[in-house]
Amino acid sequence: MFIDGRALPAGTALEADIAIVGAGAAGITLARALKDSGLSVALIESGGLEWSEEAQDLAAGELGPQTYATPDTVRLRYFGGTTGHWGGWCRELDAIDFEPRDFVPLSGWPLKKAEIDPWYAKAQSVLQLGSPQRYADSEGIAKAAGAALPVARGGDIEPILFEFSPPTRMGEVYRAELEQSAVKTYLNTTLVDLRVGDDTRTVTTLTLARDGGPALAMTARHVVLATGALSNAQMLLAADSQVQGGLGNGADQVGRYFTDHPILIGYAAILALDPSAGGPFAFGDIAADKRRWRLAFQPSEAYRAAQKRLSCLITIEPPGPRFDPAAGAFDRSDAKWFGAPETVNALAAANATGPVRLHVLNAGIETRPNPDSRVTLTGKRDRFGMRRLKVDWRLSDADLEHYLLNLGDFAKALAHSGTALLRIPPDAAARWPEETSWGHHNLGTTRMGDDPRTSVCDRDGRVHGMANLWVAGSSLWTTPGAANPTLTIVALALRLADRLKAEMAA
């Protein structure tokens, strides 16, 4: 059932067993998983069914010195959330991403991947994906696409797969189902405060602002913040009228460890030496198994552990110009990757029997947890009086260093295979961090952990020290891995739904 919060009479008392705040990937997943539980579920969404400037303005904020997307340009404030324009790249995190690693301070989740696997399997269908088994089947997918792999699975740098969601626009795909369900979805209704009881550990009331009328109060037995990683932190920090510093922030951890996946576009390139039909590489998307896949290359888990390396996912982009070594100089602009044209000539002539082709490499890389990389509140306020946020993303040179080392190993593996030459131009490091893009993956800010001194939420997503306040979404990330987050967001939301059902049944 959909209810426009703006149409509710002043003083309307609202109540629910479970109040989910935010109708994006996490919130809609939770609401769907709880809709037939017999519990009364409220889904509170700041925006309406369509994008609007008024709702989007509530997402605005400031940035620190690092170039980054302004918060209101990429996060979407309407039913469906940021899935309204996500790209659909899906991949599970690796088992090692969850492990504490001695070479990465403050690394590790309080969970092992095996504890999430059952929900990963269920998350596949939420995002309209196929079987989770196929993520390991790079050989099979490449074969179905008629492509050869330049390096084998099981090597130091190995081929891995992304599967593409259509992409699932949660607000479109699940709209009718939720509208017809018993879940009460309050649209154009924005959470602006959380009030606690005398014990300061139980949220008693949600303060809900809307245009055209005074704020409304909702009582709920459990509250889940699913407003995205930036807003989840903003909300906890802003709920400071009764508890100094905000809720769950006794150890000053809320908002810290913010990161994204830096996307390094064209920091390196390869010359493919045998571009026979389709190349030796499956660049671009592959249609196989009636699904859409993309091959990428990653240091294997064993190699990362042995070499003490952070992860990266390297894609080989569609080809640049062809060059026939027998036909003359390689003088096109892309030759810059390989130095002077004569160097390219020599390299290609020495290694290729036919035309060669140039591919630029892109990569999403893993960063180290950094407590000083953070989301804070500013003194500026939106029209509902909520303090706007500031995102101060800090990158370290060590994050790039690991990528360059991984690229070096990829170069060796490609040279060994005889299929390609990889080149990192000498000025690559000078481009960091200014010429860095990002995945639009807001990660961290309310990290999970067993120790409340270094985390905000426990292994289920419950805010440390709070009885009935939970968090869903990628604000829970501790160490980010390199995989895009939404599949894991959905898996953790499904897991939380089961946890809440058990809590309510107890």
Ligand X SMILES: Cc1cc2nc3c(=O)[nH]c(=O)nc-3n(C[C@H](O)[C@H](O)[C@H](O)COP(=O)(O)OP(=O)(O)OC[C@H]3O[C@@H](n4cnc5c(N)ncnc54)[C@H](O)[C@@H]3O)c2cc1C
Residues that bind ligand X (CB under 6 A): 21-27, 44-47, 74-75, 77-78, 81-83, 85-89, 190-191, 226-228, 231, 235, 440-441, 473-474, 484-486, 489
For the CB of residue 80, give the shortest distance to ligand X in the complex, in Å. 6
Q: What is the SS3 assignment for 133?
A: helix
The residue (of 80 and 319) whose beta carbon lies closer to ligand X is: 80
For the CB of residue 205, give the shortest distance to ligand X in the complex, in Å. 15
Whether 363 and 315 have beta carbons less than 8 Å apart is answered as yes
The residue (of 224 and 282) whose beta carbon lies closer to ligand X is: 224
Beta strand pairing call for 157-164 and 89-90: antiparallel
Helices (H), 314-465: 341-351, 397-417
Helix (H) or strand (E) holding 225: strand 213-225
The residue (of 80 and 325) whose beta carbon lies closer to ligand X is: 80
For the CB of residue 83, give the shortest distance to ligand X in the complex, in Å. 5
For the CB of residue 22, give the shortest distance to ligand X in the complex, in Å. 3
The residue (of 227 and 455) whose beta carbon lies closer to ligand X is: 227
**Shortest-Cβ-distance residue relative to ligand X:** 24
The residue (of 89 and 338) whose beta carbon lies closer to ligand X is: 89
The alpha carbon dihedral of 383, 438, 228, 126 has a sign of positive
Taking alpha carbons only, the member of 305, 489, 369 closest to residue 107 is 369
Beta strand pairing call for 420-423 and 262-272: antiparallel
For the CB of residue 439, give the shortest distance to ligand X in the complex, in Å. 7
The residue (of 75 and 357) whose beta carbon lies closer to ligand X is: 75
For the CB of residue 73, give the shortest distance to ligand X in the complex, in Å. 8
The residue (of 169 and 501) whose beta carbon lies closer to ligand X is: 169
Phi, psi of 284 (to 5 degrees): 70, -175
Taking alpha carbons only, the member of 379, 391, 382 closest to residue 443 is 391
For the CB of residue 23, give the shortest distance to ligand X in the complex, in Å. 5
CA-CA distances (angstroms) from residue 94 to 99, 116, 155, 222? 10, 11, 16, 31
The residue type at 370: N
List CB contacts of 159: < 8 A, sequence separation 6 or more: 138, 139, 142, 149, 151, 152, 153, 295, 296, 297
The residue (of 100 and 166) whose beta carbon lies closer to ligand X is: 166
The residue (of 279 and 480) whose beta carbon lies closer to ligand X is: 480
List CB contacts of 40: < 8 A, sequence separation 6 or more: 15, 16, 17, 18, 182, 184
Phi, psi of 71 (to 5 degrees): -55, -35
> What span, in angstroms and rounded, lies between the C-alpha atoms of 408 and 404?
6
Q: Which two tokens stand for residue 4?
A: 């426009």
For the CB of residue 111, give the shortest distance to ligand X in the complex, in Å. 18
> What span, in angstroms and rounded, lies between the C-alpha atoms of 130 and 13?
43
For the CB of residue 239, give the shortest distance to ligand X in the complex, in Å. 11
For the CB of residue 473, give the shortest distance to ligand X in the complex, in Å. 3
Taking alpha carbons only, the member of 441, 440, 465 closest to residue 455 is 465
List CB contacts of 193: < 8 A, sequence separation 6 or more: 206, 207, 238, 239, 241
The residue (of 175 and 423) whose beta carbon lies closer to ligand X is: 175
